[in-house]
Structure 1
């Protein structure tokens, strides 16, 4: 499947290197959150990569809920159950739960459907900053701390009416931000459509910490830095340089977890 370049299947479990995680975030999800940079002090594996790995291993179910229990560091050995029960967990070698998964309804292991759903969701999920988060923050009069930007992926739920569809597309629905002091709880809702018909819906929850009073100039600077970083990474020669061990532009800005 398309995920093979982004993890290692070892005898003791699944390993995801910082470089693999960072490449997935940038090249598949379009997510330039600095927390996914290989040398980030608080580096973590993208939740969307874990989501996609679950779909690849166990298929797509009508009802699915993913709850992230903690940040997964680089080269952490992850254990995925041999058989998926309605409720199961992905753990590390210390038996710490990294991800809880709940599944219900009919399931499909059709490779094309699984890949289409994974790609569609990941592409949607990775674009939260700046186009979705910034307007929400502006409305509440707060902004991300430019000195220590931190956006954490907490959970995601999806409900499908049926599994008889192909080429799903996710569209934005109602988004909500609740500010509690320096913390912000974000709920991003979406609808899932195929052939112009709604086949499901879902939402993603994020935690934004270290919020500060809103400053338009600072926010614009963050957005411009983020978009420059994204454009630089996509520029001709950057990916080839990275493939040969040459470090590309990876710092600055902030994105969705």
Structure 2
């Protein structure tokens, strides 16, 4: 599967290097959050990569929920248990739980569908900043810390009417932000479509930290920096192809 390039497995444990995690974020999800840069002071493996690995290992169920309980650093040995249980956990070699998964309903292991579904989701997920978050922050007169722009993936869930999906697409239906001091809780509600019909719904949860009063110039500089990182990655890819 396409995920083979973004992780390694040895002695039953899965390991993701900073380079692998960063490549997935940029090349697959279109996510240029600086915490996914290989040289980041505290590199974090993309939650969307962990989500994708879960679907690859355990299949796609009609109803699934993912709760990210701790961030995963580079070169962390992760245990994906051999289980058919409706609830299970992904933990590191010390037993620290990083991700909790719940599932119910029918299940499919159709690898072609799994790849299409994960690509559709991570493509949708990776567009959160700046397209969705900046208007939300502006509307609530808050912004993340530009020196340490932490946007943390807290969880996601979805419910599918059936698994007869050929070309799934995700469409944002509603977005909201609840501010509590320096913390902001974001909910992104989405519809899953296939063949022109709605086949399911879902929600993605994010946490914004270090909130402060909104400033247009500062936020625009952060957006410009993000856009430049994206453009630089594209230029690098074009050079590699050449």
TM-score tier by shorter-chain length is over 0.9
Distance 1:237 1:195 in 2: 32
Of the two structures, which has the highest relative contact order with CA contacts closer than 8 Å and spacing of 6 or more?
1
With normalisation by structure 2, the TM-score equals: 0.97
Distance 1:131 1:240 in 2: 28
**Count of aligned pairs:** 241
Taking only aligned residues, the RMSD between alpha carbons, in angstroms, comes to 1.2
Distance 1:238 1:84 in 2: 43
| Offset from partner CA, 1:92-122 (integer Å, 9 cap, x none) | 1111111000000000001111111100000
Cα gap change, 1:239/1:192 in structure 2, threshold over 3 Å: closer, same or farther? farther
Superposition deviation, residue 84 in structure 1: 3.0
Verify the 8 A CA contact 1:18 1:45 in the aligned structure 2.
Answer: yes
Distance 2:18 2:239 in 1: 16
Distance 2:238 2:211 in 1: 33
Distance 1:9 1:48 in 2: 18
Superposition deviation, residue 39 in structure 1: 1.6
| Offset from partner CA, 1:156-214 (integer Å, 9 cap, x none) | 00100000121100001110000011110000110000011000010000000001101
Verify the 8 A CA contact 1:6 1:16 in the aligned structure 2.
Answer: yes
Superposition deviation, residue 238 in structure 1: 6.2
Q: Which runs of 5+ in 2 are unaligned?
A: none
| Offset from partner CA, 1:44-94 (integer Å, 9 cap, x none) | 100000000000011100000000010001000000011231000011111
Runs of 4+ deviating beyond 3 Å = 236-239
Distance 2:167 2:54 in 1: 19
Verify the 8 A CA contact 1:160 1:201 in the aligned structure 2.
Answer: yes
Superposition deviation, residue 240 in structure 1: 2.6
Q: Which runs of 5+ in 1 are unaligned?
A: 242-257
Cα gap change, 1:236/1:178 in structure 2, threshold over 3 Å: closer, same or farther? same
